Structures are given as C-alpha cells and as structure tokens.
Amino acid sequence: MAQLFDAASLRYKTPEDIRTAVWKKYIFISAFATLTSYYDTSIGAIYEKHFDEAKVLLQEIANIAYAMNIDIYDEVEKALETAKNLPYDSSTSMHLDFTNYKATELEWHYCF
C-alpha cells in the first residue's frame, strides 16, 4: 500500500500498532456519532448539554479497548478536548445521514 501512496505523492502514516490506531480513531467517532444522532444535535450541543454522558460513553469505550489489551484511556480527554474545539454546529456523518433520512449504522441491528 505504501508504494501506491508514494507513487501518488501522498502523505501517509504507518502506525506501529494498527489495533491501537484503529481504537484511537474509533473512540471519538463512535461516541459522538451515537450521541449526535440520539439527541439529534451538534457536537457542540453534546459537549455543552451532555458532557457527563459523553465522558461516560468515552470511558466505556476505553474500558472495552482495555479488555482487549489496548490502553486508550488518554484518548478520553483528547476526544473531549477535540469536541470542545470544533465549531459548535459540527456534526458527524452518521448524524447527517440520520437527519437526511438516509441509512445509518443504527439500522444494522435489524440485520442480526
């Protein structure tokens, strides 16, 4: 894969531990996609009105990762800081799909 990016003159990072990198990416989007869709509101509104719930959800995700020997507890505060620094009206792709009546990850539970 690196050869393709090099040939296209694209920048990329190759993480030393892909499992940890995936969980670091997952923790923010999982928590905030869920909360913005559930409350049908922006990331800023989640941070402002549902901060404690967001923190608990992020902590739970970190706990699941830790059970798989992946320590991402420091990502809880990083995710909250990211949410705080985004423009108030920022949303998530799942929330945008939800508000536009498109299929979302929420519907997947019907398949099982």
pLDDT on residue 97 = 76
Over the stretch 62-89, which tens digit does the pLDDT of each residue have? 999 999 999 999 999 999 999 999 999 9
pLDDT on residue 27 = 97
SS3 at position 42:
coil
Average pLDDT score, the chain? 90
- Give the integer Cα–Cα distance in Å for 24 and 74: 10
- 112 pLDDT more than 50: no
Reading the block at residue 11, the tokens are 């920048």
pLDDT on residue 106 = 57
Q: For residue 94, what is the DSSP state? A: H
**pLDDT band for position 111 (cuts 50, 70, 90):** very low
- 98 pLDDT more than 90: no
